[in-house]
A and B are shown apart, each in its own frame.
Chain A
Amino acid sequence: MKCAGIDIGSRTVKLAVFDNGKLILSRKAVTSYNPLETAWELMDGVAFDTITATGYGRHLMKGHLDCPVVSEITAFARGARYFAADCGAILDIGGQDTKAIALDREGTMSKFEMNDKCAAGTGRFLEVMATALGFTLEEFSQAALAASKPVKINSMCTVFAESEVISLTSQGVAREEVAMGIHKAIVSRSVGLLRRVSPEGPVFFAGGVALNACVRKLLEDKTRRTVFVPPDPQIVGAVGAALGA
């Protein structure tokens, strides 16, 4: 039996298909203004018996396919256990949300925290800041890692932080240092969220921001906890949705 999971996020759509407990396919695409169309394109030519939707577009999907839905939080909790069977803490930094999830010994979600409506400290925040500094996302992370010292970024509001960045660069501060400051700020905020649900033990780091080497390193430095990033950190939610069916 083939079970699929689709995760319609704010920035990317992800699809995972399992055949008798084995992950046989995973795909992703950038979310357009028409997330449903992106989802159809992604599913084109893919065979499955059941599908479960998660992510922001889950109810949109349900309206069209009459499929079951699961929240991203539960999907990430399930998906993380597929990649790391003993995982007890998850940090997921996605396009517009940051979530920290604690699991008990059996893998059941025992507590979670999520940012409020403001997208401060999420993937979108990093994108806006990279653009403000004239970096691609890949360059942005590398530049931050190469900085000799960080500059302190005070604002976590995407709008205010952008003007803070502009004022720093106009004072002649090296953009690498600003880049490092931004990465530090995002990590500091996420660690606060993580500590509220899980004080210790290895951390399973997922979501698009887990692709960022600088955030990964800072997360390890700041928490002094082992940080595990799965081979494709963006697919975890779709995997969890597929496994929930």
Chain B
Amino acid sequence: MADYSKMWTDLGLDLSGHDALLGVLGGAYADIFLSQKNRPEGMKYFDFVMSEVHGLRIQELMDAKAQGRKVIGSYCVFVPEELILAVDGVSVGLCAGAEFNFEGAETVLPRNTCSLIKSAFGFKLGKVCPYLEASDVVVGENTCDGKKKSYEMLAPLVKDLYVMDMPQMKSPSGKALLKEEYNKFAAKLEAVSGKKITAESLKKGIEIVNAKRTAVKRLTELRAADPAPISGLDALLVNQVFFYDDPVRFTDAVNKLCDELVDRVKKGKGVFVAKTPRILVSGCPMAVPNWKLPMLIESSGAVIVGEESCVGERGARWMTEAKADTVDGLLELLTERYFNIDCAIFTPNPSRVDYVKEMAKKLAAAGVIHYSLQFCQPYIMESGPVEKNLEKSGIPTLRLETDYSQEDAGQLKTRIEAFVERLQK
């Protein structure tokens, strides 16, 4: 990697903390990803992206900023990248996947806060997330109570925090609220960028994001093959890079990877032997570099064939129809698309479990591991009924609740191994 210290210093990063973070990250990446056997060649692109995740990509963001483009950082799949692209902005997911500086985060947040939120604060207070520091606007969203209230504490720490309200029920008024919020967000983006959103620019944004989602959807479908042509860890990584990379280049890389996987499937080549127990993971998002659970699962004799998660199917699933000629018409269609997302903040949320079943069937998963982050009320609350429903439908389910720490790895491994043993019978 080139020397980026000047760029990092200019961004206001704490170099020693940042070096420590990159050191741990690089080591973990080598241990978890590079040590895997039979990886597709196409993963080399993603290895490169990860090796430059705080380097070259940030340089690109700085170059974009120098050209007058705005960088918009966010933490949620409800923030439409289409609108950001419509003002020629750059959309980036912000760091929230590592146990970094939790003691710092706990000076402003209660200890009983989920790891994802704590991580976002740990990165901010430790000054180690270049994406956050490079963002012209940070977008918050009223999804769960934890995030909603934590934005009150985040506001004074960042340059420009913009909070979007969120509906909690799939009702006509809920949908109207979402559309109104997207309207306001569009106006905010126009004000920040000084560019007007036109039907043409929005259509182009929709096209780019649709293409990106179509590529990821293709990847998902290829994972239905036995033997699985790609590991769950690598597929998760693709879904994680989804939030950081240049969308057009990313789409191209995913399609190239898929071309290779098509060939693998044809030849019956996989990452693990055929008949390896297949697991679908469902639940909370796994932000980079949260690879804890997938690593435990895939080192316990199973392969992950899908993620029913925001970083995964729930984030990439639906397309936006661009069949309108006015900005308002397109916004309506965009709202239509995002209102489908069956996040656990909605009540009731029956379509989620139905879709978990559908995914399990399509991907020939033998069982589901439901993953909740500790203190994530919406997903923990939903996990009980989801487990009951799945077991009743004959889908073995293991419910796990964990955080970003490594201290429960032993207990988790025991449970995962026992679950895999159950699936093998």
Contacts and interface: CB of A to CB of B under 8 A. Distances in A.
A71 interface: yes
A116 B410 CA distance: 10
A108 B418 contact: no
B408 A109 contact: no
Question: Which of B408, B410, B414, B421 has the largest count of A CB atoms less than 10 A from its CB?
Answer: B414
B44 interface: no
B410 A56 contact: yes
A74 B423 CA distance: 12
B165 interface: no
Contacts of A149: none
A110 B423 CA distance: 10
A72 B421 contact: no
Contacts, number: 43
A114 B408 contact: no
A97 B415 CA distance: 11
B411 interface: yes
B415 A73 contact: yes
Interface in B372-425: 391, 401-402, 407-408, 410-411, 414-415, 417-418, 421-422, 425
B411 A74 contact: no
Contact of A71 (B407, B421, B425): B421
A73 B408 contact: no
A209 B421 CA distance: 26
Contact of A114 (B402, B414, B422, B425): B414
Nearest to B408: A117
B423 to A, nearest CB: 11
B421 A109 contact: yes
A204 interface: no
Given A108-B425, A111-B391, A116 B408 contact: yes
Contacts of A109: 418, 421-422, 425
Interface residues of A, number: 17
Contacts of A205: none
Contact of B418 (A56, A71, A116): A71
Interface string A50-89: 0000001000000000000111111000000000000000
B411 A72 contact: no
A71 B414 contact: yes
A72 B414 contact: yes
B411 A71 contact: no
A112 interface: yes
Contacts of B422: 74, 109-110, 112
A116 B411 CA distance: 7
Contacts of B402: 116-117
Given A111-B391, A116-B401, A70 B421 contact: yes
A108 B421 CA distance: 10
Contacts of A72: 414, 418
A97 B411 contact: yes
A73 B401 contact: no
Contacts of B407: 117
Nearest to B384: A196
A56 B415 CA distance: 12
A115 B415 CA distance: 10
Contact of A97 (B414, B417, B425): B414
Contacts of A114: 411, 414-415
A111 B418 CA distance: 10
A71 B412 CA distance: 11
23 contacts: A56-B410, A56-B414, A69-B417, A70-B417, A71-B414, A71-B415, A71-B417, A71-B418, A72-B418, A73-B414, A73-B415, A73-B418, A73-B421, A74-B418, A74-B421, A108-B425, A109-B422, A109-B425, A111-B391, A112-B415, A114-B414, A116-B408, A117-B408
Interface of B: 391, 401-402, 407-408, 410-411, 414-415, 417-418, 421-422, 425
